[in-house]
């Protein structure tokens, strides 16, 4: 992997980990800065999400009940210039989910374009 490819993957991983931080998720502005305007998610529940529905459950400023998400086996691949695919296993209060995200480079930086979660066996 070239230095530019490694830098792109590191940027996407940094964004992903930032979005998992309960304090970031409690801030509408910080979440919006990391989600692409065209963001879509297929959650581990099977529900479809977009920017507005994500903001309805995050960004309220309350982090008191939010437990941290543990991350394992995170890997990233540059699919094309400006497009990184990440996969990892998350554990949130004992609920383990395989996750997959696409991050794309925009004029304002790296932003999550797509995310999918699948419950782990």
At residue 38, the pLDDT reads 96
The architecture of the domain spanning 3-119 is Roll (3.10)
At residue 32, the pLDDT reads 94
The per-residue pLDDT for range 46-74, each reduced to its tens digit, is: 999 999 999 888 766 665 556 788 999 99
Q: Which of 1-5, 57-61, 110-114 is predicted most confidently?
A: 110-114
Task: Name the pLDDT band for 30 (thresholds 50, 70, 90).
Answer: very high
> What average pLDDT does range 17-45 have in this prediction?
93
What values do phi and psi take at 19, rounded to 5?
-65, -25
> What average pLDDT does range 88-104 have in this prediction?
95
Burial of residue 51 (number of CB atoms within 10 Å: 0-12, 13-18, 19+): middle
Angle at 68 between CA 51 and CA 118, to 5 degrees: 60
Domain boundaries, the chain: 3-119
Which one, of 56, 57, 59, lies nearest residue 34 by Cα? Answer: 59
> What average pLDDT does range 86-110 have in this prediction?
95
**Do 91 and 74 touch, CB atoms closer than 8 A?**
no
């Amino acid at each position: 992997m070239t230095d530019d490819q490694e830098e792109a993957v590191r940027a996407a991983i940094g964004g992903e980990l930032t979005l998992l931080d309960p304090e970031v998720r409690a801030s509408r502005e910080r979440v919006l800065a990391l989600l692409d305007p065209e963001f879509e998610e297929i959650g581990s529940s099977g529900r479809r999400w977009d920017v507005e529905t994500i903001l309805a459950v995050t960004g309220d400023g309350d982090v008191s009940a939010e437990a941290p998400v543990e991350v394992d086996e995170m890997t990233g691949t540059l699919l094309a210039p400006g497009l990184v695919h990440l996969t990892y296993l998350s554990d949130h209060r004992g609920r383990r989910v395989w996750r997959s995200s696409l991050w794309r480079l925009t004029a304002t930086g790296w932003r999550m374009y797509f995310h999918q979660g699948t419950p782990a066996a």
